[in-house]
Structure 1
């Protein structure tokens, strides 16, 4: 059994704090761990934010996954991600997802599924997220020419990638640009390859 002893704040900023966690492991040894935590988690949820897997459906077009490309200072480069954002006070994951989708991409959608609370980088942070699945009717007038509602200092490029060519299009993008793909995105792309082309085979990575 793990027994927590203390949590010491080493440094704190507007959005993130660094803590030293002291705990006793199952062997009875006292250990410490440095942990990054968000300062913004709301009382009404165990999730810090949401990620949105949004599928754009249009007549006479392939179904496309709505992606965002943006510069991430911690990475020092642009990243390819699912639309995402923090959950505001009083919001559910579903409400936060539809708000963030509208702000970042301009699209209005309908929630069709929500995951449990999941961790992102548990060796570094306690940051958690819920993935929200959204369908977008691209034939609706407001979704034909969507307008982003970005905040000050936000620069987000919307990228549409065909669902049945998702991993191939990402790999092509990686060859052309200095960009890092979010792990959730690439794992999803591998799953789509499996679903479309090898549904009865065990997934094997390229060596």
Structure 2
């Protein structure tokens, strides 16, 4: 059956909570078939630009092995730790300066603008409950930089973060191991990335 792509009509919108970092809204809409919808959603306060955050896919080579720089961070909503990509709100608004700043703050490692390999498009993080967007920034971290001889984090007072170096070629296995040994959760974006690596390896092995 062909889907009707006509947009539901927005009838009303009410801000239920106006916080420093999150706003809670109630949207009232009507579908093309006349159904009434009440939808609760979360948004970031207006920033003045069309970007909420960045996620860093940061790789580091050591003795011929490729590692990913990840973070194990305490997440207050779940009262526990989650392993994820470094990243955060892009206060600069260009998707790259903020990414390099977050890398330094959360992991202690420095990367330069010329170390950025690729910057992805804006993607929605969880569009069923928020309008938040993010960009994936791929960067190569050079361990031979003087700044990276003794990497030191620069965390905000409320942040509790441990930097992790995890082998990339067996990322899925390593994440499951960390989750069990450290009794922590795994960010869905990182897990999907690990699954992509694993499935790609399986496809290579089964190719005739």
TM-score, normalization by structure 2: 0.89
Which residue of structure 2 aligns with residue 49 of structure 1? 53
* CA deviation map 1:42-76 (0-9, x unaligned): 212x2211111100123x24110000001101011
Give the superposition deviation at 1:30: 2.8
Q: Is there any run of 5+ residues in structure 1 with no aligned partner, and where?
A: 203-207
1:107-118 to 2 correspondence within 5 Å?
Answer: 107-109=109-111, 110-118=115-123
1:42/1:87 contact within 8 Å kept: no
| 3-state DSSP of counterpart to 2:154 | coil
In structure 2, the residue matched to 1:165 is 170
- CA separation of 1:25/1:199 partners in 2, compared to 1, >3 Å: closer, same or farther? farther
User: RMSD in angstroms over aligned alpha carbons?
Assistant: 1.7
Alpha-carbon displacement from aligned partner over 1:138-166 (angstroms, at most 9, x marks no partner): 12222232111112222210000011111
Q: After TM superposition, what 4+ stretches of structure 1 lie above 4 angstroms from structure 2?
A: none
Match of 2:130 in 1: 125
Q: TM-score, normalised by structure 1?
A: 0.89
Count residues in correspondence: 198
After TM superposition, give the deviation of residue 200 of structure 1 in Å.
Answer: 6.8
Deviations 1:94-144 (A, max 9, x none): 111011111111112221111111111111111111111111111222223
Partner Cα distance (1:199, 1:23) in 2: 47
The alpha carbon displacement at 1:201 in A equals 5.6
CA contact (8 A) 2:74 2:159 kept: no
